[in-house]
């Protein structure tokens, strides 16, 4: 029997690429998104598009039940769906911040808790949680997004020990900057609805310029991240984190392989406000 993977956030970008990557590797694929009608690929044998909203417990339950009944097993769940936010913390409504955490942190938790019984029926399984390089070295003005992804990273690290006796594993894939996804446009759109107080406008402009100038590293593609997720799904070691991209690898090096003084100097050089 072919292994089955359920992936969230498959309407475009990393999720869609990951679904197609797993199917090409002969997995049964459950490609989920808020509205399954947004799946625009031709029908593919062994690939089932389903509606699933990570903020809606009922839709999660229905999708998992439907997937298990269709394929008879559940072997891997990829928590990819996410929401971005570029904004000034002081001016960001609390509800907006809670919405980001609901999608990026509590949503994956709901999916995982609902999937555990299906993993147990299948004799074990694996969660792959897609975070962000911002969980390693958080960007200013993306404070809420980085915090939500860091929370998921920390949760994943401890959860794998809890689930180990049930033969359920946890992996974390950490992508760097992927400029071609709709995530960037959605993040910018969310930011436009939040006013920028005058004292912050100079720094906001500085940070926006940093995103639009020539990059000092080679950005990655959705395909690169999908490949890393597939590698994590097949990895039989105790490795937890899989970084993807030169920028993510540099952040991981500075955060975890240097002393705090060196890391602090590095982040100051990247993020400190310039004199006007």
Q: Residue 214 and residue 206: Cα distance in Å, rounded?
A: 14
Domain span including residue 90:
4-271
Let me know if residue 54 belongs to a domain: yes
The DSSP result for 148-186, as a single string, is: HHHHHHHHHHHHHHHHGGGTEEEEEEEE---TTSHHHHH
Let me know if residue 276 belongs to a domain: no
pLDDT at residue 215 in the model: 74
Residue-wise pLDDT for 140-156, tens only, equals 999 999 999 999 999 99
Q: Residue 258 and residue 169: Cα distance in Å, rounded?
A: 29
Q: Which residue reads 């197609």 in tokens?
A: 20
Find out whether 222 and 14 touch, Cβ atoms under 8 Å: yes
pLDDT at residue 184 in the model: 61
pLDDT at residue 257 in the model: 97
pTM: 0.94
pLDDT at residue 187 in the model: 61
Better-scored residue on pLDDT, 182 or 145 = 145
What percentage of the chain has pLDDT greater than the value 70?
96
pLDDT at residue 8 in the model: 98
Classify burial at 106, counting beta carbons within 10 Å of its beta carbon; exposed 0-12, middle 13-18, buried 19 or more. middle
Residue-wise pLDDT for 184-228, tens only, equals 666 666 667 788 899 999 998 898 888 777 777 888 999 999 999
HEC letters along 104-152: HHHHHHHHHHHHHHHHHHCCCEEEEEECCHHHCCCCCCCHHHHHHHHHH
Find out whether 4 and 124 touch, Cβ atoms under 8 Å: no
Let me know if residue 119 belongs to a domain: yes
pLDDT at residue 190 in the model: 60
**Residue 29 in 3-state DSSP?**
strand
Let me know if residue 204 belongs to a domain: yes
**Residue 73 in 3-state DSSP?**
coil
Q: Residue 229 and residue 76: Cα distance in Å, rounded?
A: 11
What average pLDDT does range 155-182 have in this prediction?
Answer: 94
State the catalytic residues.
145
Q: Nearest to residue 50, comparing CAs of 61, 41, 37, 40? A: 37
pLDDT at residue 275 in the model: 67
Q: Is the pLDDT of residue 276 over 60?
A: no
Q: Nearest to residue 32, comparing CAs of 74, 85, 2, 88? A: 74
Residue-wise pLDDT for 72-127, tens only, equals 999 999 999 999 999 999 999 999 999 999 999 999 999 999 999 999 999 999 99
What average pLDDT does range 241-249 have in this prediction?
Answer: 97
Let me know if residue 87 belongs to a domain: yes
Let me know if residue 199 belongs to a domain: yes
Q: Which residue reads 């609390």 in tokens?
A: 94
Domain count, the chain: 1
What average pLDDT does range 158-185 have in this prediction?
Answer: 90
Q: What is the CATH number of the domain that holds 114?
A: 3.40.50.720
What average pLDDT does range 38-64 have in this prediction?
Answer: 96
Residue-wise pLDDT for 62-76, tens only, equals 999 999 999 999 999
Lowest mean pLDDT among 210-214, 241-245, 254-258: 210-214
Lowest mean pLDDT among 24-33, 48-57, 80-89: 80-89
């Amino acid at each position: 029997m072919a292994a089955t993977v359920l992936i969230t956030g498959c309407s475009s970008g990393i999720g869609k690429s990951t679904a197609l990557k797993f199917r090409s590797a002969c997995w049964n694929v459950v490609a989920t998104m808020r509205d399954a009608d947004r799946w625009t690929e031709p029908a593919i044998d062994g690939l089932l598009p389903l509606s699933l909203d990570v903020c809606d417990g009922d839709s999660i339950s229905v999708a998992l039940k439907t997937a298990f009944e269709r394929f008879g097993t559940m072997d891997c769940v990829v928590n990819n769906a996410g929401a971005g936010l570029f904004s000034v913390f002081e001016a960001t409504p609390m509800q907006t911040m809670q919405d980001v955490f609901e999608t990026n942190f509590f949503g994956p938790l709901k999916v995982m808790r609902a999937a555990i019984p299906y993993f147990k029926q299948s004799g074990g399984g694996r969660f792959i949680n897609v975070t962000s390089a911002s969980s390693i070295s958080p960007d200013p003005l993306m404070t809420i997004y980085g915090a939500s992804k860091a929370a998921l990273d920390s949760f994943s690290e401890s959860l794998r020990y809890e689930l180990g006796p049930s033969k359920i594993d946890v992996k974390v894939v950490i992508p760097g900057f992927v400029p071609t996804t709709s995530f960037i446009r959605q993040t910018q759109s969310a930011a436009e609805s939040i006013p920028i107080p005058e004292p912050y406008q100079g720094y906001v402009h500085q940070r926006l310029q940093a995103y639009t100038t020539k990059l000092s590293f080679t950005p990655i593609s959705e395909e690169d991240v999908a490949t890393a997720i597939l590698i994590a799904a097949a990895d039989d070691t105790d490795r937890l984190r899989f970084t993807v991209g030169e920028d993510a690898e540099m952040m991981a090096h500075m955060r975890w392989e240097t002393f705090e003084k060196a890391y602090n100097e590095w982040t100051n050089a990247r993020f400190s406000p310039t004199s006007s």
